[in-house]
Structure 1
Amino acid sequence: MKVFCGIDWASDHHDVAMVDHEGTLLGRARIDDDATGLQQPLDLLTAHGDTADTPIPMAIETSHGLLVARLRETGRPIYAINPMAAARYRERHAVARKKSDHLDAMVLANILRTDRALHRQLPADSELVQAIAVLARAQQDAVWNRIQAANKLRSHLREYFPGFLAAFAHTREGLCLPLARTVLTAAPTPAQAAKLTRAQLRSLVKKAGRKRGIDAEADRLREAFRTPQMRHLPQVEQAMGLRTLALLRQLAATCESVEELTAAAVKSFDTHPDAEIITSFPGLGSLTGARVLAEIGDDRSCFTDAKGLKAFAGAAPVTRASGRSLSVMARRIKNQRLAAAGYLWAFSALSSPGARAHYDRRREAGERHTAAQRNLFNRLLGCLHHCLTKRVHHNETTAFPPPQFVTLAAAA
């Protein structure tokens, strides 16, 4: 008799339900979110025939947390069901739209009973790649937080100190530049910045880590800060300067976090066996490679073909056909982190002759930049899946054969 288990996850407790192949409830329990509570579902599974050779599959609405981590260590097949999908299944069991934790656990168990083949099992990733995933995602979050903090500070400076923004408008880092943060900390208002002497500016430039062109940079900043501009009343300006210092501390903290997490993610990624294969691709360095590996994992049975990986990353389009209506659109439901890493990867890969030629052909066919870049990402993902499966490095000629070779092969 086949048995299926569903777990309704919550912050402090979890509901467990077990059903047989006909949907009959075999057992239920409410467990606490601690080590003692974890043993209860394991005992319940064992009582219903769970063994190492025939493990009972389990469904839960999350793929993170201590409960999932401990269950994955036992080697049981675990399926992370999207809460939106589980809500649709609930309507099959409760027309009146009633809801309870026990009902949700039963719904999850019945999902495996009826549609197990339609859902993906959590991959059996190694401990190293799980650690890389934690670091790479934290680094990506820190970068997004840094952008948000810099935008808040930029918006505030635009209200009372536009001259400072103009002084650093030519730099790529903008307000995240160490020199910009150092100078703004010393002079957060236009009045204080205008009083900075040449010697003080030289000291600030050195403090920020500049090694060359110190005098020229000090003179440039002195001239920029003394350029006449519109000003608020003195007390208002002083208050806005205090708010700037508060926003600046937040930006400095995020910048420091980005640097620390970047170093840790790169260090862990470089020790992984797949690092050499991933970084052999154009546009993939250690940091972007760590982000890609964090999302696809190192369990190669997770994606049996490149098509599944492309859909997971959002690179493959979605076709909608009904009668005579046919439309091909970009995929919206995807792994957002992998898609963000893919955008950077495809853009950096344009330095490769083959990737650039592929991109140019898509542009000449009438596609916009985003669509052509997404198509390039789709192509690169297929190559990455092949290289990781076959354990070979990326080959430019094989991945992007010259047009004349493609024409001859088609004619043959």
Structure 2
Amino acid sequence: MKCFVGIDVSSEKLDSCFLDDEKNILCQTSYVNDTLGATALKKQILQLHQIYDFDKVVIGMEATSMYSYHPAMNFHQDEQLQEIQAITTIENPHRIKQYAKMFDTDKTDTIDAFMIADYLRNQHYTTSPVKEEKYMALQRLTRARYQTVCQLVEVKQHFIENLSYKCNTLKKELRDAPGSTTVFSAAIMELFTQDLSMDDLAQLPLDDLADWLQKKGRGRFKDPQDLAKTIQKAVRTSYRLDKAVNQSVDIVLSVFVREIRGLEKAIKDLDKAIEDLVQAIPEYQCLTSIPGVGKVYAAGLLAEIGQIERFKDQAHLAKYAGLFWKKHESGKHSRENTPLTKKGNRYFRYYLVEAANSVRHYLPEYQMYYRKKYQETPKHQHKRAIVLTARKFVRLVDTLLRNHQLYTPPRSVIEK
């Protein structure tokens, strides 16, 4: 006899349903989502185990971010539950939702708990995907970094938009000038957030502006004189704002510059914390041995994968990332254009795609594969080619992590 415990987790409650392998409800109750509630739920499992002597106990819940993390880790690490070899699993909410749709039932917390238990009863669950704490700790950092980078990109977009109101030709002039810089250079951002009007900038002596740029740029500009000319050209050819709008734009630009600097510092702090933590994970060296995979990509991949043993093979690993395409056949017809499912872990998919895009610049095998896929279609060439390259990259990641080995070039490359 087997027992399947479905738990519908919310911020306040753990609605639970205990099913046997004949779909009989052994117990159905609700607990508070805290240590006391989790302990009471565990005691209920142990009491039923004493009565029925289960062959297997599976405790499952949906992945609901921070709400499911604590109870899942609590049950996974509990010594008494380990003694009866209970399996704790966190499942994809989308799959359970699709499973529940087949029965066309009402949606309540009690019914949701029953559906989770029944989903487990039908052997759909994965094998204990709860990660070790070192991977969860790393994941907190890498996901925070990803979210901070997204915030930085958004703030920079708003900065460019408002800078275009103040000096609409600056971005174009800097882009066209050889050996120039970007609008996000510290010197450029400070220059256009000072108490200087556009006319003041236009009339500033060229040598003075060049000296100021070189000082603020810490001597990094190869030709500050040309850069000063480019900036003054952009200033002279740009439209002028009236006083009220100009004041508003200046305030907005100053706020965004402070936010950009704060986010950039936050990313550096996160990078330092990631680097300190990832050194303790042996698999880190396996991934950084791949040309083009740096510490950020390696840490992001490890944080989302956890123990590679959680996955049966590379196909399951790719599916976890949402890098798979469903077959669509009817009779003798087979659809050629099948969309990417994207039903997996979006953070994992992001790091795989970004890492694959970097690796193709270093490894000829991946460069050739990318070009081949790029030339196969006239639409969305880069997007399609890089996603397929990422799918190929999954096999390499899986092999290195599963065998605990460093990357070695193919024999043909070594011989050359």
TM-score (structure 1 length as normaliser): 0.84
Count of residues in correspondence between the two structures? 396
* Equivalence for 1:73: 77
**Residue pair 1:149, 1:250 contacting (<8 A) in 2 also:** yes
**Aligned-partner Cα distance in 1 for 2:197–2:54:** 70
Q: Given residue 193 of structure 2, which amino acid in structure 1 is its aligned partner?
A: T
**Aligned-partner Cα distance in 1 for 2:5–2:406:** 42
Identity of aligned residues (%): 18
* Equivalence for 1:405: none
Residue 102 (structure 2) pairs with residue 89 (structure 1)? no
Residue 378 (structure 2) pairs with residue 374 (structure 1)? no
Deviation at 1:382, TM superposition (A): 0.9
Deviation at 1:354, TM superposition (A): 2.6
Residue 257 (structure 2) pairs with residue 284 (structure 1)? no
**Aligned-partner Cα distance in 2 for 1:91–1:151:** 41
- Point out the more displaced range, 146-155 or 24-33: 24-33
**Residue pair 2:173, 2:231 contacting (<8 A) in 1 also:** no
**Aligned-partner Cα distance in 2 for 1:12–1:167:** 56
* Equivalence for 2:239: 230
Indicate the SS of the match to 1:380: helix
Indicate the SS of the match to 2:335: strand
* Equivalence for 2:367: 356
Q: Given residue 349 of structure 1, which amino acid in structure 2 is its aligned partner?
A: V
* Equivalence for 2:112: 104
Residue 48 (structure 2) pairs with residue 35 (structure 1)? no
Q: Given residue 49 of structure 1, which amino acid in structure 2 is its aligned partner?
A: H
**Aligned-partner Cα distance in 2 for 1:12–1:208:** 53
1:153 aligned to which of 155, 159, 164 = 159
CA 1:244 to 1:307, structure 2 compared with 1: closer, same or farther past 3 Å? Answer: same
Deviation at 1:91, TM superposition (A): 4.1
Correspondence list, 1:211-250, <5 A = 211=220, 213=222, 215-216=224-225, 219-220=228-229, 223-224=232-233, 226-250=235-259
Correspondence list, 1:4-403, <5 A = 4-49=4-49, 56-62=57-63, 64-65=65-66, 66-74=70-78, 76-93=86-103, 95=104, 97-114=105-122, 116=123, 118-166=124-172, 168-169=174-175, 174-187=182-195, 190=198, 193-194=201-202, 199=208, 202-203=211-212, 205-211=214-220, 213=222, 215-216=224-225, 219-220=228-229, 223-224=232-233, 226-297=235-306, 299-328=307-336, 329-333=338-342, 334-350=344-360, 351-363=362-374, 368-397=381-410
Deviation at 1:189, TM superposition (A): 6.0
CA 1:371 to 1:92, structure 2 compared with 1: closer, same or farther past 3 Å? Answer: closer
TM-score (structure 2 length as normaliser): 0.83
Query: How large is the Cα RMSD of the aligned pairs?
Result: 3.2
Question: Once the two structures are superposed, what CA deviation does each residue of 1:53-92 show, in whole Å capped at 9, x if it has no partner?
Answer: 9662112122532233323323542332333333333345
CA 1:208 to 1:71, structure 2 compared with 1: closer, same or farther past 3 Å? Answer: farther
**Residue pair 1:196, 1:222 contacting (<8 A) in 2 also:** no
* Unpaired segments ≥5 residues, structure 2: none
**Aligned-partner Cα distance in 2 for 1:60–1:205:** 59
**Aligned-partner Cα distance in 2 for 1:383–1:290:** 16
**Aligned-partner Cα distance in 2 for 1:91–1:215:** 65
